Protein backbone atom coordinates (compact mmCIF):
# COMPACT_ATOMS: atom_id res chain seq x y z
CA UNK A 1 0.00 0.00 0.00
CA UNK A 2 1.07 3.57 -0.57
CA UNK A 3 1.74 5.96 2.28
CA UNK A 4 -1.12 8.04 3.70
CA UNK A 5 -0.93 11.44 5.34
CA UNK A 6 -3.02 13.39 7.80
CA UNK A 7 -2.58 16.96 8.98
CA UNK A 8 -3.64 18.90 12.04
CA UNK A 9 -3.28 22.52 13.12
CA UNK A 10 -3.57 23.48 16.79
CA UNK A 11 -3.69 27.09 17.97
CA UNK A 12 -1.98 27.80 21.29
CA UNK A 13 -1.47 30.89 23.46
CA UNK A 14 2.02 29.55 24.32
CA UNK A 15 4.99 31.03 22.43
CA UNK A 16 6.32 28.89 19.57
CA UNK A 17 9.86 28.56 20.95
CA UNK A 18 8.69 27.30 24.35
CA UNK A 19 6.10 24.85 23.02
CA UNK A 20 8.65 23.50 20.53
CA UNK A 21 11.16 22.89 23.35
CA UNK A 22 8.49 21.19 25.48
CA UNK A 23 7.59 18.80 22.64
CA UNK A 24 11.26 17.96 22.10
CA UNK A 25 11.52 17.23 25.83
CA UNK A 26 8.20 15.36 25.99
CA UNK A 27 9.89 12.26 27.40
CA UNK A 28 10.74 14.32 30.50
CA UNK A 29 7.41 16.14 30.77
CA UNK A 30 4.91 13.40 29.89
CA UNK A 31 5.16 11.28 33.06
CA UNK A 32 4.72 14.43 35.18
CA UNK A 33 1.83 15.88 33.19
CA UNK A 34 -0.06 12.71 32.24
CA UNK A 35 0.76 10.10 34.91
CA UNK A 36 -2.52 8.28 34.27
CA UNK A 37 -1.39 7.67 30.67
CA UNK A 38 2.44 7.76 30.66
CA UNK A 39 4.01 5.45 33.26
CA UNK A 40 7.57 6.44 32.40
CA UNK A 41 9.64 7.82 29.56
CA UNK A 42 13.31 8.35 28.81
CA UNK A 43 15.90 8.82 26.16
CA UNK A 44 17.23 5.33 25.39
CA UNK A 45 19.84 6.11 22.74
CA UNK A 46 21.81 9.22 21.89
CA UNK A 47 22.13 12.63 23.47
CA UNK A 48 18.88 14.21 22.24
CA UNK A 49 20.29 15.22 18.87
CA UNK A 50 19.19 13.85 15.49
CA UNK A 51 19.25 10.05 15.56
CA UNK A 52 18.42 9.85 19.27
CA UNK A 53 15.66 7.48 20.39
CA UNK A 54 13.20 7.98 23.24
CA UNK A 55 10.75 5.51 24.73
CA UNK A 56 7.36 6.27 26.25
CA UNK A 57 5.81 3.53 28.41
CA UNK A 58 2.06 3.65 28.90
CA UNK A 59 0.14 2.71 32.02
CA UNK A 60 -1.65 -0.66 32.07
CA UNK A 61 -5.02 1.08 32.06
CA UNK A 62 -4.27 3.31 29.12
CA UNK A 63 -6.62 1.42 26.80
CA UNK A 64 -9.55 2.24 29.04
CA UNK A 65 -8.42 5.83 29.63
CA UNK A 66 -7.29 6.78 26.16
CA UNK A 67 -8.33 4.38 23.40
CA UNK A 68 -5.90 5.94 20.92
CA UNK A 69 -3.03 4.00 22.57
CA UNK A 70 -4.01 0.37 23.25
CA UNK A 71 -0.38 -0.76 23.51
CA UNK A 72 2.40 -0.82 26.09
CA UNK A 73 5.05 1.50 24.69
CA UNK A 74 6.48 3.36 21.70
CA UNK A 75 10.04 4.16 20.70
CA UNK A 76 10.55 7.10 18.40
CA UNK A 77 13.68 8.44 16.72
CA UNK A 78 14.39 12.12 16.19
CA UNK A 79 14.99 12.38 12.43
CA UNK A 80 15.20 16.13 11.97
CA UNK A 81 15.35 19.23 14.11
CA UNK A 82 15.64 22.93 13.22
CA UNK A 83 15.93 25.05 16.37
CA UNK A 84 15.64 28.31 14.41
CA UNK A 85 12.41 27.38 12.60
CA UNK A 86 10.92 25.38 15.52
CA UNK A 87 10.52 22.21 13.47
CA UNK A 88 11.17 18.55 14.26
CA UNK A 89 10.33 15.14 12.88
CA UNK A 90 10.06 11.82 14.75
CA UNK A 91 9.67 8.31 13.33
CA UNK A 92 8.18 5.33 15.10
CA UNK A 93 10.88 2.66 15.37
CA UNK A 94 9.32 0.15 17.77
CA UNK A 95 6.11 -0.56 19.66
CA UNK A 96 2.73 1.02 19.16
CA UNK A 97 0.91 -0.25 16.09
CA UNK A 98 4.16 -0.82 14.20
CA UNK A 99 3.92 -4.25 12.57
CA UNK A 100 0.29 -4.64 13.66
CA UNK A 101 -1.57 -2.12 11.51
CA UNK A 102 1.21 0.06 10.06
CA UNK A 103 4.52 -0.61 8.38
CA UNK A 104 5.97 2.82 9.21
CA UNK A 105 4.97 6.21 10.61
CA UNK A 106 6.56 9.62 11.09
CA UNK A 107 5.29 12.91 12.46
CA UNK A 108 6.58 16.39 11.72
CA UNK A 109 5.84 19.31 14.04
CA UNK A 110 6.22 22.95 13.04
CA UNK A 111 5.51 25.78 15.49
CA UNK A 112 4.84 29.20 13.95
CA UNK A 113 4.60 32.33 16.10
CA UNK A 114 1.34 34.26 15.72
CA UNK A 115 0.78 38.00 16.00
CA UNK A 116 -1.10 37.44 19.29
CA UNK A 117 2.03 36.07 21.01
CA UNK A 118 0.99 32.43 20.80
CA UNK A 119 1.61 29.97 18.02
CA UNK A 120 0.11 27.61 15.50
CA UNK A 121 1.34 24.04 15.77
CA UNK A 122 1.20 22.34 12.39
CA UNK A 123 1.41 18.56 12.45
CA UNK A 124 1.89 16.26 9.46
CA UNK A 125 1.87 12.51 10.00
CA UNK A 126 2.76 10.11 7.22
CA UNK A 127 2.17 6.41 7.68
CA UNK A 128 2.18 3.28 5.57
CA UNK A 129 -0.62 0.88 6.49
CA UNK A 130 -0.08 -2.83 6.27
CA UNK A 131 -1.90 -4.44 3.32
CA UNK A 132 -5.61 -4.86 3.97
CA UNK A 133 -5.68 -2.63 7.05
CA UNK A 134 -8.07 0.34 7.24
CA UNK A 135 -6.89 3.08 9.62
CA UNK A 136 -9.73 5.61 9.39
CA UNK A 137 -10.74 5.30 13.07
CA UNK A 138 -7.09 5.31 14.10
CA UNK A 139 -6.47 8.67 12.37
CA UNK A 140 -9.13 10.37 14.49
CA UNK A 141 -7.67 8.77 17.63
CA UNK A 142 -4.15 9.82 16.66
CA UNK A 143 -5.27 13.43 16.10
CA UNK A 144 -6.91 13.35 19.54
CA UNK A 145 -3.69 12.02 21.09
CA UNK A 146 -1.50 14.70 19.44
CA UNK A 147 -3.94 17.43 20.46
CA UNK A 148 -3.81 16.09 24.03
CA UNK A 149 0.00 16.24 24.03
CA UNK A 150 0.09 19.81 22.75
CA UNK A 151 -2.62 20.99 25.15
CA UNK A 152 -0.94 19.31 28.15
CA UNK A 153 2.39 20.97 27.27
CA UNK A 154 0.60 24.28 26.72
CA UNK A 155 -1.11 24.13 30.12
CA UNK A 156 2.22 23.39 31.80
CA UNK A 157 3.93 26.30 30.04
CA UNK A 158 1.17 28.74 30.93
CA UNK A 159 1.26 27.64 34.58
CA UNK A 160 5.10 27.82 34.63
CA UNK A 161 6.15 30.99 32.75
CA UNK A 162 9.88 30.31 33.29
CA UNK A 163 9.80 26.76 31.90
CA UNK A 164 11.56 26.29 28.56
CA UNK A 165 12.13 30.05 28.31
**Higher local confidence (pLDDT), 76 or 99:** 76
Question: Strands 73-82 and 119-129, how do they pair?
Answer: unpaired
Which of the four pLDDT bands, split at 50, 70 and 90, describes residue 92?
A: very high
**What gap in Å lies between CA 33 and CA 53, rounded to an integer?**
21
The structure's pTM equals 0.89
- Flag whether pLDDT at 78 surpasses 50: yes
- Flag whether pLDDT at 139 surpasses 90: no
3-state secondary structure of 8: strand
- Flag whether pLDDT at 66 surpasses 70: no
The candidate with the shortest Cα–Cα distance to 45, out of 36, 33, 54, is 54
Amino acid sequence: MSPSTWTLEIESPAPAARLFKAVLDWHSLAPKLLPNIIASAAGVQGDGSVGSVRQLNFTSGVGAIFAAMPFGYVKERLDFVDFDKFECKHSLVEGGDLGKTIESASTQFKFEQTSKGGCACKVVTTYKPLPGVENKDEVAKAKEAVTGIIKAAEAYLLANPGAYA
